[in-house]
Amino acid sequence: MAKITKQSDNFSKWYTDVILDADLADYGPVKGTMVVKPYGFSLWTNIRDSLNKMIEDSGHDNAYFPLFIPKSFLEKEAKHVEGFAKECAVVTHSKLISEEGSLTVDPESKLEEEIIVRPTSETIIWHMFKKWITSYRDLPLKVNQWANVVRWEMRTRLFLRTSEFLWQEGHTAHATKEEAMKETLEIVEIYRTLFEDYLAIPTIIGRKSNLERFAGADETFSIETMMRDKKALQAGTSHYLGTNFGSAFDVKFQSKDNKEHPVYATSWGVSTRMVGALIMVHGDDKGLKIPPKIAPTQVVIVPINQKKEKSEEFSSFVMKVEKKLTHLDIRTHIDDLDESPGFKFNKWELKGVPIRIEIGLKEFENMEVTVCRRDNSEKYQIQIDKIDEIPTILQSIQDNLFNDAKTFMDNNTCTVSSFADFTDTLSKNNQFIKAYWDGTDETELKIKEKTKATIRCIVEDNEDSSNKCIFSGETAKHLVVFAKAY
């Protein structure tokens, strides 16, 4: 088993080592693409299923929309197309021809209109909404889809930024601005629950600045998380789109008094980027630490009986432990491969399995098991008749991972009142910095240019005229969180 790079030596290299060595993913043959391996896809599936239940329980229906979008659809919403134009993959021809054993594009198959490979689905969904929405009885319309997306990224990194990635995108239509804004904020809370209760990742949630807002949105709310290198990762977004897309696609509804009204919209999404956040928030020099609620394997059993003594009775005891755990609805795996115990211990630590249970001859004779926690490396014995304590231990691990990450984020978040303190803090500690800002694009751009730190989100509006912008000295409009980010 390859030795992974230490976080302190090279955090970026550590991150890639963990992904590759823990069998989460590999590089695809096309630059910027990613193959999600079975272990990584099982992790993604557990996250997806947890979120999908919350989405469905909140009144949304799953649907699926085409991967291919006519270019003219993107042109209907000017800000939207401007935001995605440089990232779009474009289909120009419909077929290939074979000439002397090689394939070439058939020049006669050029399409009348170029087709965009889905960068996001607002435009094609609102094309369909026009067909589906005519009356107030059709509202609210709330759909979600699980899909793949293509954004032609130049600088890629596994899970964090790839040319193709998996995600969930929700799209809703409402009769009023108030309903749409309520939806936008309700989704933020669903995402907060997903991150904090399932992924054990603490969040900071707020409104995006004008420059950081989603292309075509009136307001964007983001879920910001802190990685172990103290950089920020935008892990999810929820957008209030106003009437922008409804107007662009001429979607109107007739009210009870037979008057036509515009339709208000939202869109929101999270992606496989969440897996990258999970790795960088909880991982250590041994590899992954996966919260039990979304771990593909919650408990791995490692039998240790190299001399094969009392093999039948020993194997029966191991199976008895596995059966008890399975009856407790615990995702359990027995590692009975012909490898040394030390190799197996390292392997499952690397893969981040929350609990490793060791069963050797001593445990067999004493009718007990040895429990090893991945979160804090504690190791102790429990009797076989106390095996029903394992769910409580798993919950303790879940809570401990969240509390550890929350303490780390709190200890590395500070407030400054001057630009000198701001630059000094960034150069020494690279922390999350709360500071007052005058609300102008000009100030935001200058701070970014001088420090490479960006406004992650607006956490509150300023009502005290004595609070001044750290850069311009003008009266502040907002308290914001600055950070260097992925």
Domains and CATH numbers, the chain: 11-66+121-282 (3.30.930.10), 299-393 (3.40.50.800), 413-483 (3.30.110.30)
Q: What is the mean pLDDT of residues 32-43?
A: 97
How sure is the predictor about 5, in pLDDT bands with cuts at 50, 70 and 90? very high
* pLDDT for 84: 87
| Integer Cα distance of 318 and 373 in angstroms | 19
| Contact predicate 480/451, CB 8 Å | no
Classify 133 as helix, strand or coil.
Answer: coil
* pLDDT for 99: 85
Q: What is the mean pLDDT of residues 389-413?
A: 98
Q: Assess whether pLDDT exceeds 70 at residue 153.
A: yes
Tokens of 12: 């970026």
- Sheet with 68-70: strands ordered across: 68-70, 110-117, 89-93
Exposed e or buried b per residue across 157-179, where buried means at least 16 C-beta atoms within 10 angstroms of its C-beta:
bbbbbbbbbbbbbbbbbbbeeeb
* pLDDT for 1: 64
Tokens of 116: 């965009």
* pLDDT for 3: 87
pTM to 2 decimals?
0.95
HSE, side-chain direction, 13 A CA sphere, residue 324: 19
| Integer Cα distance of 425 and 422 in angstroms | 5
Tokens of 200: 């054990």
Q: What is the pLDDT of residues 202-253, one digit of tens each?
A: 999 999 999 999 999 999 999 999 999 999 999 999 999 999 999 999 999 9
| Integer Cα distance of 316 and 116 in angstroms | 58
* pLDDT for 410: 97
| Contact predicate 90/117, CB 8 Å | yes
Q: What is the pLDDT of residues 71-87, one digit of tens each?
A: 999 999 888 888 889 99
Q: Assess whether pLDDT exceeds 80 at residue 2.
A: no
How sure is the predictor about 307, in pLDDT bands with cuts at 50, 70 and 90? confident
- pLDDT, mean over the chain: 96
* pLDDT for 476: 98
How sure is the predictor about 310, in pLDDT bands with cuts at 50, 70 and 90? confident
* pLDDT for 369: 98
Exposed e or buried b per residue across 117-149, where buried means at least 16 C-beta atoms within 10 angstroms of its C-beta:
bbbbbbbbbbbbbeeebeeeeebbbbbbbebeb
Q: Assess whether pLDDT exceeds 70 at residue 381.
A: yes
Q: What is the mean pLDDT of residues 387-416?
A: 98
Can you list the positions of beta strands (E) in 290-360? 299-304, 332-334, 355-360
HSE, side-chain direction, 13 A CA sphere, residue 212: 27
Share of residues in the chain with pLDDT > 90 (%): 94
How sure is the predictor about 101, in pLDDT bands with cuts at 50, 70 and 90? confident
* pLDDT for 244: 95
